[in-house]
Amino acid sequence: MTARGSAADPGPSPAAAAGARSVAATAQVLESASIRRAAAETPRARARRFAAETPLGRTRRARRINRVLADTYPDARTDLDFTTPLELLVATVLSAQCTDARVNLVTPALFARYRDAADYARADRGELEALIVSTGFFRAKAAALTGLGAALVDRHGGAVPADLDALVALPGVGRKTANVVLGDAFSIPGLTIDTHVGRLVRRWGWTTAEDPVRVETEVAALLPRAEWTLFSHRAIWHGRRCCTARKPACERCPLVGDCPSAVL
Ligand code: SF4
């Protein structure tokens, strides 16, 4: 669990900062070596290399990509601020069609007003809507939060269950939200297949599936279970910072040598 964004947060120690700098330097070396190797290969040779890849070769490449992402984004984590599983569940519901930064502006007052599931269950709808209005779709989100609070009270004594099946059975909670909560609030490995992760794993040729559940199953088979949660965060960060939907920045991407979709 994390509680972030506090003014009292002293930030990284000098040793940790030096460590982060050396990781960043390593990532930079990796990046330039990988880009040089990829640039020296003809497009036809690249296409042949990926077409001839065996299942074992693909697993090794997937794990290599995960390692490079780990070096590149050593601080990858959820951008949502929370201190309890309930807070993360609520923040994740609010993050639909809204930026995490916007959600983080709203949640301090929300979490101070509604401290447990029963508070959400009996919330005055107008007051709740007013607190979350800036996250968009506020009527639907307020309805989802009161329904969620009631279901948690009725089925789980007000606690957030640490179980995928129990989470997805809650109103308004899909597999993506459930995996976020499992991974980040309970440290139970979970793969979050959001729009970024789905796009990236298809670009990497790990899957051709569009259905998130199939994507999740195929990615799960390629990576060690213990890596699932952090891999999801790293891929989301890479999708936001480098391999964007509209214009992937292949010319500065550290994965270019292992990516069949690279354009150089
Ligand atoms: S498409 Fe380009 S930016 Fe995206 S992962 Fe591949 S090389 Fe990197």
Q: Which atom of ligand 1 is nearest to the CA of 256?
A: 7
Q: Whose CA is closest to atom 2 on ligand 1?
A: 250
Tokens of 263: 């354009």
Mutate to test the pocket of ligand 1, among 36, 231, 243, 264 (most ligand atoms within 8 A of CB): 243
Catalytic residue list contains 176: yes
DSSP for 55-67 reads HHHHHHHHHHHHH
> How many Å apart are CA 249 and CA 237, to the nearest integer?
13
Residuewise pLDDT in 10s, the chain (264 residues)? 343 433 333 333 444 444 444 445 545 555 566 666 677 788 888 888 899 999 999 999 999 999 999 999 999 999 999 999 999 999 999 999 999 999 999 999 999 999 999 999 999 999 999 999 999 999 999 999 999 999 999 999 999 999 999 999 998 899 999 999 999 999 999 999 999 999 999 999 999 999 999 999 999 999 999 999 999 999 999 999 999 999 999 999 999 999 999 988
Residue 260 Cα to ligand 1 middle (Å): 8
Residue 263 is assigned to a structural domain of this protein: no
Residues 100, 176 within the same domain: yes
- Do residues 91 and 178 share a domain? yes
Query: Does residue 247 have an active-site annotation?
Result: no
**C-beta 202 within 6 A of ligand 1:** no
Domain count for the chain, please give it. 2
- pLDDT for 18 equals 42
Helices of type H across 204-246: 212-222, 228-241
pLDDT at 35: 67
- Predicted local confidence at residue 46, as pLDDT: 87
Q: How far is the CA of 258 from the centre of ligand 1 (A)?
A: 9
Distances from the Cα of 156 to the Cαs of 87, 161, 200, 251, in angstroms? 16, 7, 36, 50
Q: Is residue 42 domain-resident? A: yes
With beta carbons less than 8 A apart as the criterion, state whether 225 and 263 touch.
no
Does residue 15 lie within any of the structural domains? no
Q: Which CATH number characterizes residue 224's domain?
A: 1.10.1670.10
Q: Tokens 């069949």 belong to which residue?
A: 260
- Classify residue 1: in a domain, yes or no: no
* pLDDT (0 to 100) of residue 13: 42
117 and 197 inside one domain: no
Residues 6+ apart with CB under 8 A from 245: 195, 199, 239
The residue among 136, 161, 185 that closes a domain is: 185
Using a 6 Å cutoff on CB, does residue 162 contact ligand 1? no
Ligand 1 centroid to residue 252 C-alpha, Å = 9
Contact 69, 231 (CB under 8 A): yes
Q: Are residues 198 and 68 located together in one domain of the fold?
A: yes
Which residue in 65, 25, 32 sits closest to 255, CA to CA? Answer: 65
Atom of ligand 1 nearest to the CA of 261: 1
If asked whether residues 89 and 73 sit together in one domain, one would say no
Asked whether residue 117 is assigned to any structural domain, the reply reads yes
pLDDT at position 219 is: 98
Global pTM value: 0.81
- What is the SS3 string spanning 148-170? HHHHHHHHHCCCCCCCHHHHHCC
124 and 54 assigned to the same domain: no
Q: Are residues 167 and 198 in the same domain?
A: no
Q: What gap in Å lies between CA 67 and CA 243, rounded to an integer?
A: 17
Contacts of 59 (CB under 8 A, 6+ apart): 222
Q: Is 179 found in the same domain as 139?
A: yes
Inside any domain, residue 119: yes
**Is any atom of ligand 1 closer than 6 Å to the C-beta of 203?**
yes
Q: What residue numbers bound the domain in which 132 lies? A: 85-185
Of 162, 185, 208, the last residue of a domain is 185
Active-site position among 119, 176, 184, 258: 176
Interatomic CA distance for residues 215 and 198, integer angstroms: 7
Residue 17 lies in a domain: no
| Interacting residues of 53 by C-beta distance below 8 A, sequence separation 6+ | 61, 205
Tell me how far the alpha carbon of residue 247 lies from the centroid of ligand 1, in angstroms. Answer: 9
For the Cβ of 250 lying below 6 angstroms from any atom of ligand 1, the answer is yes
> 13 in a domain, yes or no?
no
